[in-house]
């Protein structure tokens, strides 16, 4: 059975803005892979410390959701001052993110034991708690549950979403991919290549390192 490092991330409040809605604060029901990649990068101390082929599988669940108010700073024309305003912001409460890493396990175990930078998920003010353990995965199918899976996985159900997989260091370039996620959980039996001992399917998502992007001309 392949060994994996299982990372469990918990937080009381998180919020993931959907960048497809310009000027609106529309929330996503789960973190994009790029956001989870950023969390791992904070632990490692920068993208230059992250293996370029870094991939992971993940599940995400929230006990509740709501709407709060947040100060919004719109971008203005260079040289002009843009007035801050207040907008509604979707948030998720009492969340658990579970991440499985199957490569460079020792590196990630060290990084997550003593993170270089504060561990946050979504907004900069949303700090998280992390716990790691080594587990064994089986090469078998499993239940979809709360897994975020690539759209092409046969028999996968849930909401189809376009999420950012990779974001460049300067945040000027993005890679978008199609995924499925069932916020309430799904009983569907899917074959993603790996499953945990309790039958949770683990779908390895595409690499998240910025070197996946073509350099800007």
**What pLDDT, in 10s, does the model give residues 187-215?**
999 999 999 999 999 999 999 999 988 66
Kindly report the length of the chain: 217
What's the pLDDT band for 162 if we cut at 50, 70, 90? very high
Q: For residue 172, what pLDDT is reported? A: 85
8 A C-beta contact, residue 45 and residue 116 = yes
Q: Is the pTM of this model over 0.85?
A: yes
What's the pLDDT band for 87 if we cut at 50, 70, 90? confident
Report residue 206: phi and psi, to 5°: -60, 160
Does the structure show a pLDDT above 80 at 24?
no
Q: For residue 124, what pLDDT is reported? A: 84
Lowest mean pLDDT among 19-28, 74-83, 136-145: 74-83
3 state SS of 115: coil
């Amino acid at each position: 059975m392949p060994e994996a490092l299982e990372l469990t991330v918990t937080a009381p409040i998180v919020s993931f803005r959907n960048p497809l809605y310009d000027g609106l604060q529309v929330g996503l029901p789960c973190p994009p892979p790029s956001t989870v990649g950023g969390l791992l990068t904070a632990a490692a101390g920068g993208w230059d410390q992250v293996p370029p082929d870094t991939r992971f599988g993940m599940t995400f669940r929230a006990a509740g959701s709501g709407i709060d108010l947040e100060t919004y700073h719109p971008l203005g024309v260079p040289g002009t001052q843009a007035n801050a305003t207040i907008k509604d912001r979707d948030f998720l409460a009492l969340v658990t993110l579970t991440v499985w890493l199957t490569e460079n396990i020792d590196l990630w175990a060290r990084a997550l034991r003593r993170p270089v930078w504060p561990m946050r998920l979504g907004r900069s003010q949303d700090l998280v708690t992390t716990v790691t353990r080594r587990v064994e995965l089986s090469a078998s199918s499993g239940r979809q549950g709360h897994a975020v899976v690539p759209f092409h996985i046969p028999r996968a159900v849930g909401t189809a979403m376009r999420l950012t997989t990779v974001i460049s260091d300067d945040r000027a370039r993005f890679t978008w991919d199609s995924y499925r996620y069932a916020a309430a959980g799904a009983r569907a039996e899917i074959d993603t290549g790996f499953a945990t001992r309790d039958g949770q399917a683990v779908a390895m998502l595409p690499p998240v390192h910025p070197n996946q992007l073509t350099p800007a001309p």
